[in-house]
A and B are shown apart, each in its own frame.
Chain A
């Protein structure tokens, strides 16, 4: 086995008075794919940021090829070939894709920028990633997975020795994941050391050589992937055995809660129709870009649309988010940083934002807000070291839980959830699945949009599949399986009779 290229020796890290990493030992070797797993807030991102030179350790030693080093900045780490892709993207939104890929390392001819060469190389990198976006497109207009691909292209454009990726697959569809894995494997052949985090244990099992488990800032286990089962990984993360991931499915009643008829959004959705019953969990599958998010946003009043939407029998006017919320329909966004949470505000301010009028007539009742936050923290098991901290400093998974709490605060009847468990650890995933099942059992109607097949299959009693802006199929009961969803999602033929209904 090769000697470690980058390692941590008894590293600890404190933010203010709170220590979040306690004496972590860790070794990363060239030519290995190493997974770092752990619950939300366990300290994975923090560990990676220390390795990537983004933040300093409070104690302990970082070693580069056996020699203690300290990186004054991420540039110093990058100069050694250590590149990190963050959980939250680090792209200049208003610049083009090619400009982002070469940001800070622009190719020049003489003193002038060599635009043609940069565009050409960016195009080649994107091609390698089988990502068909225009290298001159502005990043701001790209979808989340496309942005992720740009980040990856950016990393690939450098002289890589160590690649660190924080939950790269959380925002990718299965197909994009496969492409990413091929690239990672190619890099492994070249002797690059790869460290990444993921909450998808099956993926870790399949792709990785080694796995290290963090629990509450302590490295509790490090093992060859071949020597550890998925269940053992989960148990090490959570510190206890986990029961079944998916709860029993509720049986829907007959009463129709939501009816959508011939809904169109110009250029994005064509003639979508669906019905949702009380107590039902309806899944919507499809590739990213198929229009799932747009459909949900259009229903919730966040996008202009044509067509008819009836909520509990009453027509819902288009483009009115507030009315939709007041009548009991809410949408939980997939883009928690861009559209979900105010990252520089506290937990309390985020939680009550959509519903401030319920907290006091004229003046806001601070105590009622605090009580609501107490309840949310308890109900959703949110782990925040400090209630007053900006939510941008919460771990990704805890942000997601807060977003769920915020969206459900108005006690809606119909809930559209987009990627409910993106970036959420397995223990919490189970809690969220249970929560969804309980909501359904209590008579709510829920639509779950997800790129994770097992999630759709495990949660939904019925699954609609979208392709290129259309609902191309409906799968029911036993017909809900991975093969059928994938076939429909790729646009390979309609399913059964009730298809595009």
Chain B
């Protein structure tokens, strides 16, 4: 009996989960191979660093989104939340520069503000969803509109820019790094690794999956359902704030079109990575692979010229649908 048990154990992981586990990785490898065949520059240090650094923002947000979706929720507001937080951060930093001058404290205060603003925005979403009891889709659809309109209003329809000297001082946070690896990439890796550990090895991660799988069972198992769900939104908000901290030094500005469609890219990355949209099962490493797949597609189209980059969205869309179809095949037959 015990022998059969252990044997079967490994057999199952190899057989049953097959496609689901390796699907995204195979797709990623295929993309890299195609890229190598099409353009010799593809694997160059400059290109790879560029792709990774740009995907870091979405990536950091998508890690948070993985928790929200795993716990059966959804957040459509992250893109406009990022834009709003970026705008707020720039405004306040410009204000502070007048009193504190172009100095490190301004940057630190700006960073703290972005993190707190993200956290509060997540808290508002979470409270409306868990305490007031409004559908997550509706709440975040609402806040998505609100933040988008707030940033447009703050920027008066135009662009909010960080003062020139301030921008120079802040620049290294995006463009600098250690050992040739830029800060956004390091940040993304750290967030992803922590996220993976939290999801798989802590009570919080387990509770998220339990709630997404069956909320009633979770409640009867004395899990503080509302609190855990709230925490997922707060975590996501905080990570949005963190992504903004990395994003602002890149361009030094924010406008009504900042972070446009980020929410969809983040959700898509999560789903491509194998997390179930209806909740109950999530994996952070999958999300990372999803993010990479999406940004590599864009990058490839830019590097080659027989498919127009305007078709980027179409190809990404097809990949998302394909990913879900493949997962279903792997998942339903029992």
Contacts and interface: CB of A to CB of B under 8 A. Distances in A.
A217 to B, nearest CB: 14
A385 B12 CA distance: 12
Contacts of B201: 363-364, 366
A216 B284 CA distance: 41
B224 interface: yes
Most buried by A among B216, B222, B280, B281: B222
Contact of B334 (A322, A349, A354, A393): A393
Given A302-B219, A385-B4, A344 B280 contact: yes
A339 B217 CA distance: 4
A345 B4 contact: no
Interface residues of B, number: 31
Contacts of A322: 222-224
A353 B9 contact: no
B202 to A, nearest CB: 6
A354 B203 CA distance: 10
B92 interface: no
Interface string B213-225: 1101111111110
Interface string B192-232: 00000100011100110110011011111111100000000
Contact of A17 (B8, B223, B281, B334): B8
Nearest to A331: B220
B220 A363 contact: no
Interface residues of A, number: 36
Interface string B236-254: 0000000000000000000
Nearest to B16: A16
A375 to B, nearest CB: 14
Nearest to B214: A342
B202 A386 contact: no
Contacts of B213: 342, 344-345
Contacts of A366: 201
B5 A386 contact: yes
A321 interface: yes
A17 to B, nearest CB: 6
A353 B221 contact: yes
Contacts of A338: 214, 216-217
Contacts of B11: 16-17
Interface in A401-428: 406
B220 A386 contact: no
Given A354-B221, A354-B223, A364-B206, A387 B4 contact: no
Contact of A345 (B207, B209, B216, B223): B209
B282 to A, nearest CB: 13
B206 A353 contact: yes
A302 B9 contact: no
A302 B223 CA distance: 11
A356 B207 CA distance: 9
Nearest to B213: A342
B180 interface: no
A297 B91 CA distance: 53
B194 to A, nearest CB: 12
Given A338-B216, A339-B217, A339-B220, A356 B8 contact: no
A349 B281 CA distance: 12
Given A302-B219, A302-B220, A354-B222, A387 B9 contact: yes
A328 interface: no
A363 B8 contact: no
Contacts of B280: 342, 344
A369 B8 CA distance: 19
Contacts of A354: 221-223
Given A17-B8, A364-B201, A386-B8, A353 B219 contact: no
Interface string A342-355: 11110001000110
A108 interface: no
Nearest to B216: A339
B7 interface: yes
A357 B8 CA distance: 30
Contacts of A321: 219-220, 222
Contacts of A302: 219-220
B202 A364 contact: yes
A362 B12 contact: no
B209 A340 contact: no
B4 A17 contact: yes
Contacts of B216: 338-339
Contacts of B7: 17
Nearest to A365: B201
Nearest to A297: B220
A357 B220 contact: no
B220 A333 contact: yes
B4 A342 contact: no
Contacts of A16: 8, 11-12, 15
Most buried by B among A333, A339, A366: A339
A355 B207 CA distance: 11
B207 A386 contact: no
A388 interface: yes
Contact of B12 (A343, A344, A357, A389): A389
A362 B205 CA distance: 11
Contact of B206 (A325, A344, A349, A386): A349
Interface in B1-30: 4-5, 7-9, 11-13, 15
The 6 A-B pairs of least Cβ separation, nearest first, read A356-B203, A354-B221, A321-B222, A322-B222, A363-B201, A339-B220
Given A17-B11, A342-B280, A349-B206, 6 more contacts: A302-B220, A354-B223, A357-B203, A363-B197, A386-B5, A387-B5
